Amino acid sequence: MEENLKELIAKAIHEIDLSLNLKELEKLRVKYLGKKGLITDLKKNIAKLPKEEKPQAGKLINQASVKIEEALEDKTKAIREKLLEEKIEEEKIDVTAHFDRKTSGHLALINQTLEDLEAIFQNMGFDVVEGPEIDTVKNVFDDLNSPADHPARSTSDTFYITHNVLLRPHTSSMQIRVMNEGKLPIKMVSAGRVFRNDEVDATHSPMFHQLECLVVDENVSMANLKATLETFIKEMFGDDIKLRYRPHHFPFTEPSLEVDATCPICKGKGCPACGNTGWSMELLGGGMVHPNVLEACGIDSEKYTGFAFGLGVDRIAMVKYGLDDIRLLYDNDKRFLEQF
């Protein structure tokens, strides 16, 4: 009997070893230890043995049962571990697997344009200055020679935070801030966001961007303003683009002008985009710094003169990239952004 049992155990362990999955193992458990299993049968047969053999036989059969059970347990554990490993392997994310260089982003068009503009002016020897989007009525209007009844001061045009503090409606407040630092000569640009109580349409947004330019020195003339603008516009758009100067009025410059560029689409010939005029919308306002502004900042207007202009950065971007709607710059539509 002992020999038979040993063989049975060896056979069972061998079969357990060969089994590949939990289902096969379960079958083997039934085969040996189940209700009608081989070991269970042996246990039942103990009753038929002579009395003196019973204890020994019982002991051997129990041992065999324990051994087979242990083998089943070990194998079950091994198969479970293997399954888990396979699952982990399957679910592991390979972060390098689908790396696609083309999907890396780029600066928004407005920031790209701001960087281009600043680089051009830096190359022309200008300082790039940063300033606050929230400023005082004194810096935004009073010291810029704006009369008390100037329409831009009204709350229907400008966003006030308190009576004396507001979201700047133009970057010209940076002229005052830089002049008040008291260092001469001045040759600076300062770009950033400005805010106006405007309805949104194809060419207007309540938040947009300007770049302010200010030069103050002895003997600065309108010719310097013109030369600076022509150099800048060539750098930005190439030789094809021409500028048109129109007289205008700003409280802080005298004389004042507005400047348009030839339509970037038809290059001045006239097309639907420019309403057949050949000219793009106005790009900037500027002029010679009003003596009252220089004096408000403690600068001797008999000795010093200056020019200033404020560029619409969004409009520069629209001309540069041929856009017919300012909202494209702010919508964050990937189909649009991916074209640049």
Q: Is 268 in the site for ligand PHE (CB under 6 A)?
A: no
Among 268, 309, 314, 326, binds ligand PHE (CB under 6 A): 309
Q: How many other C-beta atoms can be found within 10 angstroms of the C-beta atom of residue 55?
A: 11
Q: Is 285 in the site for ligand PHE (CB under 6 A)?
A: yes
**Which of these segments, 19-27, 75-83, 117-125, 285-293, binds ligand PHE (CB under 6 A)?**
285-293
Q: Is 287 in the site for ligand PHE (CB under 6 A)?
A: yes
Half-sphere exposure of 102 (CA within 13 A, CB side): 4
Amino acid making up residue 231: T
The counts of H helices and E strands in the chain are: 11, 9
What are the residues facing 158 on neighbouring strands? none
Q: Strand 186-195 to strand 253-262: parallel, antiparallel, or no bridges (unpaired)? A: unpaired
Among 192, 264, 286, 306, binds ligand PHE (CB under 6 A): 286
Instruction: Count the site residues for ligand PHE by CB under 6 A.
Output: 11
Q: Is 250 in the site for ligand PHE (CB under 6 A)?
A: yes
d(CA 120, CA 135): 27
Q: Is 170 in the site for ligand PHE (CB under 6 A)?
A: yes
For ligand PHE, the binding residues in 18-47 under the rule CB under 6 A are none
Nearest residue to ligand PHE, by Cβ distance, number only: 310
CB of 193 to ligand PHE, least distance (A): 13
Q: Which is nearer to ligand PHE, 25 or 213 (CB)?
A: 213
Amino acid making up residue 21: N
Q: Is 310 in the site for ligand PHE (CB under 6 A)?
A: yes
CA 169 centroid distance within chain: 26
Amino acid making up residue 117: L
d(CA 126, CA 188): 5
Q: Is 308 in the site for ligand PHE (CB under 6 A)?
A: yes
Asked if the peptide bond before residue 255 counts as cis, ω within 30 degrees of 0, the response is yes
CB of 248 to ligand PHE, least distance (A): 8
Tokens 């709350």 belong to 155
Q: Which is nearer to ligand PHE, 293 or 329 (CB)?
A: 293
Q: Which is nearer to ligand PHE, 109 or 311 (CB)?
A: 311
* Widest distance between CA atoms in the chain: 135
Among 172, 173, 190, 205, binds ligand PHE (CB under 6 A): 172
d(CA 129, CA 115): 13
CB of 250 to ligand PHE, least distance (A): 4
Q: Is 264 in the site for ligand PHE (CB under 6 A)?
A: no
d(CA 65, CA 39): 7
3-state secondary structure of 269: coil
Among 113, 139, 145, 253, binds ligand PHE (CB under 6 A): 253
Residues in touch with ligand PHE (CB under 6 A):
170, 172, 250, 252-253, 285-287, 308-310
